[in-house]
């Protein structure tokens, strides 16, 4: 009985310390092991960087059979040359046509012809509907990401990935900070953009 009582006292004394880290965390991003996003790389708390490339999609089914077989063959070579762990990430980004909308509104304000103004207003209404929840139109983007500590290895891998895809006539670029934030938002916040440092737990 004395042993059980001593164990219970120890457990009760240990409980506040176990919850101390949860109580001191003010922001949801404190739970994610990310230090910052800079120069197209996510820097993690353990010293690793997560980065990679953004791949432009290509519809190989509109190519003739010879071209299509060549792209597939080069892609096989490309994947076989990757000798490290990587992630293929497919993420949806809402289509942003705000620039197009603002140009339409400028045209509408400048136009003096009633018929032209009516046509422009119809285009504005279509564009607003296009961006609404009813259609839920998104751009699908493709990424190849990897994790590494050494910056010189990172640059070499990115160069090799871009060159390997170029051999398959597929365009790619190094991911940007905005790309990485969008990927994190997709996985952590259901695609909703967040302002880090303002959401309290």
Q: Which residue has the higher pLDDT, 115 or 32?
A: 115
Of the two residues 28 and 83, the one the predictor is more confident about is 83
Tens digit of pLDDT for each residue in 42-88?
A: 999 999 999 999 999 888 889 999 999 999 999 999 999 999 999 99
User: What's the per-residue H, E or C state across the chain?
Assistant: CHHHHHHHHHHHHHHHHHCHHHHHCCEHHHHCCEEEEECCEEEECCCCEEEEEEECCCCHHHCCHHHHHHHHHHHHHHHHHCCCCEEEEEEEEECCCHHHHHHHHHHHHHCCCHHHHHHHHHHHHHHHHHHCCCCCCEEEEEEEEEEECCHHHHHHHHHHHHHHHHHCCCCEEECCHHHHHHHHHHHHCCCCCCCCCCCEC
Q: What is the pLDDT of residue 84?
A: 95
Q: For 108-115, what is the mean pLDDT?
A: 90
Q: Is 186 a residue whose pLDDT tops 90?
A: no
């Amino acid at each position: 009985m004395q042993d059980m009582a001593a164990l219970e006292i120890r457990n009760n004394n240990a409980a506040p310390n176990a919850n101390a880290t949860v109580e001191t965390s003010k922001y949801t991003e404190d739970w994610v092991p990310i230090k910052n996003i800079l120069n197209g790389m996510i820097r993690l708390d353990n010293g690793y960087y997560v980065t990679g490339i953004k791949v432009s999609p290509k519809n190989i089914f509109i190519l003739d059979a010879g071209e299509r077989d060549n792209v597939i063959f080069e892609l096989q070579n490309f994947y076989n040359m990757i000798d490290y762990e990587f992630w293929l990430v497919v993420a949806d980004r809402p289509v942003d046509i705000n620039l197009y909308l603002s140009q339409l509104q400028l045209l509408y304000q400048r136009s003096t012809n009633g018929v032209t103004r009516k046509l422009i207003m119809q285009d504005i209404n279509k564009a607003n509907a296009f961006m609404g929840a009813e259609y839920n139109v998104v751009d699908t983007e493709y990424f190849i990401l990897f994790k590494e500590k050494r910056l010189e290895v990172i640059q070499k891998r990115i160069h090799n990935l871009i060159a390997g895809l170029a051999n398959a006539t597929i365009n790619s670029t190094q991911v940007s900070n905005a790309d990485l934030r969008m990927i994190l938002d997709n996985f952590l916040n259901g695609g909703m953009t967040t302002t880090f440092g303002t959401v309290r737990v």
